[in-house]
Structure 1
Amino acid sequence: MVKVLMKGNEVIGEAAIQADCYYFFGYPITPQSELVAYMAKRLPEVGGVFLQAESEISAINMVYGAASAGVRVMTSSSSPGFSLKQEGISYLAGAELPAVIVNVGRGGPGLGNIQPAQSDYFQVTKGGGHGDYYTPVLAPSSLQEIAELTQEGFRIADQYRTPVIILGDGMLGQMMEPVDFDAVEKVDQVFAKEWATTGTKGDGGPKTITSLDLNDVLLEERNHRLQAKYQEIRDKEVKVICHYEEEADWFVVAYGTVGRIVQSAVEKAREEGVNVGLIRPVSLWPFPHETISGFSETSSHILVVEMSAGQMVEDVRLAVEGKAPVSFYGRNGGVIPSVGEILEQIMKIDAGVTVR
């Protein structure tokens, strides 16, 4: 086992290459610019193609073109730049094209700042562009998990012919941790892509890929097919990690960077005799509704912690369905909640003090 000390943005790039992604189109924006720089250096070394587009909009449309040819392809950005990609992501979803899109989130709204935030949750989980579509969203909490979920992202993209989003934040992108790439299960390109536009190769003849259906009946049929696919993803691709679920009286729910901070707070609280557990959604869409709903039936309380003004908390409340009180604690604008302040919230709730 050999571990390599790397920055989070670089881990994403190396994990993508090890997933046989040799095509990357991007545009620099802090705090994910190191990913663009890493791919600019590494892809020529492995015979891949790197292109810095003139804008985020150009980059996502280049992804559309490469995905249409059947290759594994990636792009990345940070919050304001990710917003510019939304029309292209909608096109990818409508045309049923596989791709992995990375968002290393930062504080907003507007230009905001370059500090970490989780205020893009609504955008990535509710279909940030136009039309009825969803994108699977994976939220790692460590650099080792980044490597694992990047592989998983390409598997989901290929299997379901859909764009997949890896959602991190400025802290994950900039921090350094040792990563064992040998421990990551490699996901080969095993899904046939007869639909790819490879010219007249083979017996299939030329093909057309588009999200345009001027016939309303045909477009409705396309939407029905998409919704059936999204239901299959809901049924098969929910990912959630729970701690102390067998013994906890109540739970804290958090994802990504905040999930690992909350885990430290939960462990400290348990040392103080508080019987609390942690639910960490790894797939933000599909969201682990059933898991949270099940635990809420026997929980005395649910606390949601986010680096936002409160976004995932809405999905938690929908899952709980009033079966337990739900509280929220958030920091936003790029402020990272500390273990101490989360622990304070946990102790207040356990003592019966009302928190919002």
Structure 2
Amino acid sequence: MEKELWKGNEAIAEAAIRAGCDCFFGYPITPQSEVPEYMSAHLPKAGGVFVQSESEVAAINMVYGAAGAGMRAMTSSSSPGVSLKQEGISYMAGAELPCVIVNCMRGGPGLGTIQPGQGDYFQATRGGGNGDYRTLVLAPSNVQETVDFVQEAFDIADQYRNPVMIVCDGLIGQMMEPIEWHPVPKRNLPPKDWATTGRKNRDHNNIINSLYMDPEECDRHNDHLAEKYAEMEKNEVRWSTTQCDDAEVIITAYGTPARIALTAIESLRAEGLKVGLFRPITLWPFPEAALRELAKADHVKAFVDVEMSSTGQMIDDVRMALEGRKPLHYLGHAGGVMPTVEEMVDAAKTALKEVK
């Protein structure tokens, strides 16, 4: 199969079209503006609907309406834009509506910078809106993974009737890489007999809602959602490891920092230092059990968490998985500054020195 050179954001949009995206609602914001730009030109040709909304708030509520009618709906934005969508995302999780949300993360807080960042980890994995809810979060580290995950995300969303989020830092959205358009495994999905498509062939109304005035009923609904999230934790956890079988120091990282870590590990191995990489692919559900097993290994002496955020966010999940079994160090920058190979090499050497 021949490879094609694609820019990340444009590949995201093309992947969604190939996955059967019916409707896209969005608003331009750097560094993801090429996603709606591409959609505006190509989604209508594929029979879909593109709307540039008047705001991010409007966009997510349009997604709510289209998803409620059974459409495959999508939106994309970048960090502060996704913040504006949080109320709608909470509503959709509460109403059990499937959709795909892409966040090409930039530095923050506030307007921050247009450079790449990873400061939205808490927002994505903890549910940035109100109430008890979860979104399944996929974190690619290259353009190939991004297009694969976007295509698969629509099926995941439909299977669980839940929003699915793809988080890629702005560098992945802006870079160009060769990719293959290969078939993505399809899931056996249930019919959307809950959708608001009229009363033909049924004798009842389908009501899409997240409001429960009776507290007991709302409690039961939250229990139902919790059972669904437990199924996601059981079935959807993903991660990858690189040279962890004998590693004394393990770097934890996702997205672009994970790519940089591969070069740092190569350099360290050339010096005879045993360093590996643990990369979460689902940020939620977080691969806690897999990381915990690594922490139990006798050959592992320490961990170094690397992120593009000032004091670390994923590090909280790493710390909980380690349960204090091994020392944990942190290396990170914010505002679009990326950790370098040299910094990772030094951090791994420091971590190893402290335990010997």
For Structure 1 versus Structure 2, the TM-score category normalised by the shorter chain is over 0.9
1:323 paired with 2:325, answer: yes
1:344 paired with 2:343, answer: no
What is residue 29 of structure 2 aligned with on the other side?
29
- How far did residue 192 of structure 1 move? 1.2
Compute the TM-score of the two structures, normalised by the length of structure 2.
0.97
CA distance in 2, matches of 1:85, 1:98: 15
Question: Conserved in 1, the CA contact under 8 Å of 2:239 and 2:280?
Answer: yes
CA distance in 1, matches of 2:187, 2:13: 17
- Could you tell me which amino acid in structure 2 is paired with residue 212 of structure 1? L
What is residue 225 of structure 1 aligned with on the other side?
224
Question: Conserved in 2, the CA contact under 8 Å of 1:19 and 1:187?
Answer: no
Question: After superposition, what is the alpha-carbon deviation per residue over 1:133-179, rounded to whole angstroms, capped at 9, x for unaligned?
Answer: 11110000000000111122112101110001000111011000011
> Matches of residues 1-356 of structure 1 in structure 2 within 5 Å?
1-181=1-181, 183-187=182-186, 190-298=189-297, 299-309=300-310, 310-352=312-354
Q: Percent identical across equivalent pairs?
A: 53
1:49–1:222 CA distance, 2 compared to 1 (3 A): same
- How far did residue 327 of structure 1 move? 0.6
- How far did residue 4 of structure 1 move? 1.5
Question: Conserved in 2, the CA contact under 8 Å of 1:263 and 1:278?
Answer: yes
Q: Tell me the secondary structure at the aligned position of residue 21 of structure 1.
A: coil
CA distance in 2, matches of 1:215, 1:135: 25
- Could you tell me which amino acid in structure 2 is paired with residue 209 of structure 1? I
* The 10-residue stretch of structure 1 (147-156 or 64-73) with the greater mean CA deviation from structure 2: 147-156
- Could you tell me which amino acid in structure 2 is paired with residue 139 of structure 1? A
Aligned residues: 353
- Could you tell me which amino acid in structure 2 is paired with residue 22 of structure 1? D
Q: Tell me the secondary structure at the aligned position of residue 50 of structure 2.
A: strand
- Could you tell me which amino acid in structure 2 is paired with residue 211 of structure 1? S
- How far did residue 337 of structure 1 move? 1.5
- Could you tell me which amino acid in structure 2 is paired with residue 263 of structure 1? L
CA distance in 1, matches of 2:244, 2:192: 41
- Runs (4 or more) in structure 1 with deviation over 4 Å come to none
- How far did residue 244 of structure 1 move? 1.3
Question: After superposition, what is the alpha-carbon deviation per residue over 1:85-112, rounded to whole angstroms, capped at 9, x for unaligned?
Answer: 0000000000000000011010111111
CA distance in 2, matches of 1:292, 1:231: 19
Gaps (5+ residues) in structure 2?
A: none
CA RMSD of aligned residues (A): 1.4
- How far did residue 353 of structure 1 move? 7.9
CA distance in 2, matches of 1:199, 1:2: 44
CA distance in 2, matches of 1:177, 1:290: 33
Question: Conserved in 2, the CA contact under 8 Å of 1:19 and 1:186?
Answer: no
- How far did residue 2 of structure 1 move? 1.9
CA distance in 2, matches of 1:176, 1:287: 28
- How far did residue 248 of structure 1 move? 1.6
- Could you tell me which amino acid in structure 2 is paired with residue 147 of structure 1? V
- How far did residue 188 of structure 1 move? 6.2
* The 10-residue stretch of structure 1 (249-258 or 129-138) with the greater mean CA deviation from structure 2: 249-258
Compute the TM-score of the two structures, normalised by the length of structure 1.
0.97
Question: Conserved in 1, the CA contact under 8 Å of 2:141 and 2:254?
Answer: yes
Question: After superposition, what is the alpha-carbon deviation per residue over 1:228-250, rounded to whole angstroms, capped at 9, x for unaligned?
Answer: 11111111110000111222223
- How far did residue 261 of structure 1 move? 0.8
Question: Conserved in 2, the CA contact under 8 Å of 1:151 and 1:186?
Answer: no
CA distance in 1, matches of 2:171, 2:24: 23
- How far did residue 189 of structure 1 move? 7.4
Question: After superposition, what is the alpha-carbon deviation per residue over 1:304-340, rounded to whole angstroms, capped at 9, x for unaligned?
Answer: 0000021000110011000111111001111111212
CA distance in 2, matches of 1:23, 1:2: 29
CA distance in 2, matches of 1:50, 1:252: 41
- Could you tell me which amino acid in structure 2 is paired with residue 213 of structure 1? Y
Gaps (5+ residues) in structure 1?
A: none
CA distance in 1, matches of 2:188, 2:325: 43
- Could you tell me which amino acid in structure 2 is paired with residue 53 of structure 1? S
CA distance in 1, matches of 2:178, 2:117: 23
Question: Conserved in 2, the CA contact under 8 Å of 1:147 and 1:184?
Answer: no
- How far did residue 190 of structure 1 move? 3.2
